[in-house]
Chains A and B, each alone.
Chain A
Amino acid sequence: MKEIAQHILDIANNSVRARATLIEISINEDIDNDNFVVTIKDNGEGIPEDKLEAVCDPFVTSRTTRKVGLGIPLLKLNAERTNGSFCIESEVGKGTVLKAVFKHKNVDRPVIGDIAGVITMLATTDPKIDVVYIHAKQSNEYIFDTREIKNELNDVLISNPQIMRFIKEMIEENLESINYTK
């Protein structure tokens, strides 16, 4: 994966498959500590304890275990390559939290990429799934929440192409306004 946004799309699709109804994605650019922290939290069915270790090991995870594949190992690899860290916690019936820390200034940190496009895509995946995206940089923060969007839209589909383009631009412009790192 060349972009952090692609990793997020990939991992969030695990949440979709785990029947999550709420996916919370956050990026925290902690410049002071040189950290770029990506957290993905869902309320899906969770991963049993005995399988949790295996999700990080591309050689143990078989392709038939459709809940996880190469997505998690790739993200872990990319985070660790920058001298960062990776952890995953999960509870069956409650959900999963995954956290990848990249070193912000490390040359190996992938660019964020088309995060607005990815969040829009996730937001329109399934009307039953809500997506929250919080991007923080220093003291600035932007919060995107599909529940607010759906509230405004009422009976208009969030997957309407014009709405999708609007959402994407709205996220982009708000990220620009908090001066996020591209």
Chain B
Amino acid sequence: MFKPKEDRMAKVKSLADLRKMKENLQSKVHLREKADNPEALVQIKVGMGTSGIASGAKEVFNYLVDELEKRNIEAVVTQTGDMGYSYAEPTIEVTLPGKEPIVYGYVDVKKADEIIEKYVKLGEMVDGIIPANYRTIEENK
């Protein structure tokens, strides 16, 4: 079972591998266009404040990244700080191209699946929206 050290080292990914991968990706021309214009993509932000992290936002983040790719949906998933809805963590903000951002609360993996299938794919509303007129603590200052 023991492998010589060089073998193990050889497997480690490096920046050179990244370059190769990038070239592969770049052959898909549309990707470059999209990179200049991220608004054309579905954008999802996952709230990663203290309360978000503690309530499992990272699992939701990983799920979204993996599933959107598997289901062939071009999207950018990023993390963001506390969105001010600590009572409803994990929270995610979904922005479809040309639409207003919508914030969903209490998002677990199951809810995330529903949001992808119904809202992202079909544009149908899904339960669990935090209305925009809810004020965050920040706004009440």
A interface, CB within 8 angstroms of B: 1, 6, 9-10, 13-14, 16-17, 63-64, 66, 69-71, 74, 114, 117-118, 121-122, 124-126, 148-149, 152-157, 159-167, 169-170, 173-174, 176-177
Contacts and interface: CB of A to CB of B under 8 A. Distances in A.
Interface in B30-72: 31-32, 34-36, 38, 48-50, 53-54, 58, 61-62, 65-66, 68-69
B26 A173 contact: no
B1 interface: no
Q: Which of B22, B25, B76, B138 has the most CB of A within 10 A?
A: B22
Contacts of A66: 82, 84, 137-138
B13 A166 contact: yes
B21 A162 contact: yes
B137 to A, nearest CB: 5
B18 interface: yes
A114 B69 CA distance: 21
A157 B35 contact: yes
Interface of B: 8-9, 11-15, 17-19, 21-22, 25-26, 31-32, 34-36, 38, 48-50, 53-54, 58, 61-62, 65-66, 68-69, 75-82, 84, 137-138, 140-141
16 contacts: A6-B54, A13-B82, A69-B50, A71-B49, A117-B62, A118-B58, A122-B79, A124-B78, A154-B22, A156-B32, A157-B34, A166-B18, A166-B21, A170-B14, A177-B8, A177-B9
B21 to A, nearest CB: 6
B18 to A, nearest CB: 5
A177 B69 CA distance: 29
A13 B80 CA distance: 8
A56 to B, nearest CB: 14
A122 B81 CA distance: 11
A148 B15 contact: yes
A74 B54 CA distance: 11
B137 A64 contact: yes
Nearest to B36: A155
A168 to B, nearest CB: 9
B76 A159 contact: yes
A10 B49 contact: yes
Given A13-B82, A64-B137, A74 B12 contact: no
A9 B106 CA distance: 20
B77 A159 contact: yes
A155 B33 CA distance: 9
Contact of B79 (A69, A125, A157, A176): A125
Question: B35, B50, B53: which has the most chain A beta carbons within 10 Å?
Answer: B50
A156 B22 contact: yes
B18 A152 contact: yes
Nearest to A16: B81
Contacts of A118: 58
